[in-house]
């Protein structure tokens, strides 16, 4: 899978799956995503984050605990997105085996206009 690190003036500040910059719910592009800084080929999000940390010169990436779709409901209190919107999107797009990283739930919800 391909992941892209977006930023501006040669500095990356956002890593996303695919080749599209991060978009807001209104369709506008995140103003911090002016150019592709790196394209990373990796088999998983954790592998992409590991490489991203290396390229940034940061300390090693430590994967966040994974949670299943059912566990999102327990974690909902950590997210400002209404549970009914999360449920609606999950029920139409994901299977129960799909996995989320807790740290990305709110960004994921905004990305999907929830």
Q: Is residue 61 part of a domain?
A: no
What is the reported pLDDT for 63? 82
What is the reported pLDDT for 106? 58
Residues of the chain with pLDDT under 70: 65-114
Domain span including residue 78: 66-111
Q: 29-40: per-residue pLDDT in tens? A: 888 889 999 999
Query: How many domains is the chain partitioned into structurally?
Result: 2
Rounded CA separation 104/94 (Å): 16
> Do 7 and 34 belong together in one domain?
yes
Which of 32, 56, 80 corresponds to the end of one domain? Answer: 56
Q: Is residue 75 part of a domain?
A: yes
pTM: 0.58
């Amino acid at each position: 899978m391909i992941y892209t690190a977006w930023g501006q003036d040669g500095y990356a500040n956002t890593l996303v799956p695919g080749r599209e910059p991060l978009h807001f719910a209104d369709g506008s592009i995140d103003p911090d995503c002016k150019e592709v800084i790196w394209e990373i080929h990796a088999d998983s999000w954790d592998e992409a984050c590991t490489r991203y940390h290396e390229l940034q010169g940061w300390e090693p990436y430590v994967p966040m605990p994974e949670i299943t779709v059912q566990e999102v409901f327990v974690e909902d209190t950590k997210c400002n997105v209404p549970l009914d919107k999360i449920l609606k999107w999950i029920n139409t797009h994901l299977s129960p085996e799909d996995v989320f990283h807790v740290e990305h739930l709110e960004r994921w919800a905004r990305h999907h206009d929830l």
